Amino acid sequence: MIQLMIYLMVYLGSALMIYNIYGFIRFSRYVKGKTSWEEGSLILYVPIILLVFFLAGYLAIGIFGSPDLIVAGILFGGSIFVFVMYRMLSRIVQRITENEHLEAELLAAEESSRAKSSFLAAISHEMRTPMNVILGMDRLALRNPDLSDETRNQLEKIGHSARHLEGLINNILDIQEFENGEMHEGHKSFSLRDALDQINAVISSMCEVKGLTYEVTLAECASRDYVGDAGQLKRALMNILDNAVKFTDAPGQVHFTVDCIRENGICTALHFIISDTGVGIDEAFLPKIFEPFAQEDASFTNRFGGSGMGLAAAHSIVTHMGGEVRAESRKGEGSTFHVTVPIIQAPESEQTEGMCCGDGGCGAEPVSLDGRMILVVEDVDENAEIVEDLLELEGAESERASNGLEAVNMFKASGSWKYDAILMDLRMPVMDGLEAAGKIRALPRLDAKAVPIIALTANAYESDIQNSLKAGMNGHLVKPIDADELYAELRRWIRKTKGGNEAER
């Protein structure tokens, strides 16, 4: 019985060694196929040769020798040891291969994300450029007092459609920036009442056109100044209010309530409530309404319009600000959206400064653009014409450079403080706006260091804004041009350099 066990162990060990040899042959071929072994490739076959000698020894002992239990145990144990080593190496290689696949997939995903971001940035720029022309020419045309009612109505519809398209582009960029982690929240003192007035002016006009009743209820906290990102807050609220107007038929109502949440008597968060008497949302669909491109019913989309991005963008913005958006709705009974945003009340000193500086400085006369010389750096003729016409309406004069290099040369050739401000496009042939701004700032002249340079571009990502500031620019305005915003930005920065340039003139 013992002798049978001895030979069984020897021959089982031999069979296991044959399997090990086969496994190492496969392993060496796999390694050679995955890597380059032009030199020293024979080392992969050394274990195979040694195992073949071991197998020959096993068979010689089993056939010609008289192995005892100890020798048989050593031979069988050796085969098991080699088998374990082979399986361990195979597992290691499998793990390495899996990691390589994961790394390849991660690199592919990152490359795809970069390609998508580049595509969205490019398409945004290409869409904003002609849209700037459409909206700019539309605004200028509407200033003509001799327009017929029919023509004025047509121009207003063109402007409304163009602004709707602009909103879609903004929503796409907001969602993309949030997904890429590129959205940065501003922290500046702003008047909440001014922000709300701007929102209400737009929404009330939309409701009037559609035959809706628009009601606004403001708590006492709405008249204060706060520290935060007014622009992002306005875009989030506008998206939700626009959604309410869009899905409400006449003679419906849209109600906008602004309140605050207090802790120990201090306002720590703003609470916005937007309710409507529109078509409502099915309760089963409510959890999906903040997903990009989510649309409950295609028939409603065809009837009311919409891309399914407005609420998603609003949710992304509010979430990034540390707030919360939730919805309540029933089909056919309207919807109510609650937006809660944590906020910090601006100190009294900042509130005073913010209120005064908007008009040209505390106790100072408002800055006039009349007679100011503005250098417009723009390669597209139509865009340049719009900017020049808008400046002319405020009495400002302008000169135009068609690329960054031309702007630098014009500034070099000008007298000190000839230009009160520079409006700089970013994407231009010969020399882009970032490089041009840097070269102007590097000139050995006092006015080169102080002249306001404001980006006026279709590049709308947060990274574009940061790049403009790093290049030495003072501000960043995004096309399509908002005339009031353009005037305000020029007055703001001209006021800050007013003493210097007036003194040298």
- Residues near 417 by Cβ (< 8 Å), separated by ≥ 6? 447, 451, 500, 501, 504, 505
Cα 183–chain centre separation: 5
- Domain extent listing, the chain: 2-109, 184-348, 359-504
pLDDT score, position 497: 67
DSSP 3-state assignment of 488? helix
For 202, 260, 485, the CA distances from 198, given in Å and listed in that order, are 7, 20, 12
Condensed to tens digits (0 to 9), the pLDDT of residues 214-226 reads 999 999 888 888 8
Inter-residue contact 296 to 311 (CB < 8 Å): no
pLDDT score, position 448: 94
Q: What is the dihedral of CA 408, 409, 414, 418, to 10 degrees?
A: -30
In our burial notation (b when 16+ CB lie closer than 10 A, e otherwise), range 199-219 reads: bbeebbebbeebebebebeee
Give the length of the chain.
Answer: 505
pLDDT score, position 324: 93
pLDDT score, position 302: 44
Condensed to tens digits (0 to 9), the pLDDT of residues 372-400 reads 999 999 998 988 999 999 999 899 999 99
Residue spans of the chain under pLDDT 70:
1, 33-42, 44, 113, 116-117, 120-121, 124-125, 164, 171-187, 292-308, 348-366, 496-505
pLDDT score, position 369: 92
**Which CATH fold topology does 359-504 show?**
Rossmann fold (3.40.50)
d(C-alpha 475, C-alpha 431), whole Å: 20
The closest of 245, 239, 240 to 211, measured between CA atoms, is: 245
**CATH (residue range 184-348):** 3.30.565.10
Supply the pTM of this predicted model: 0.55
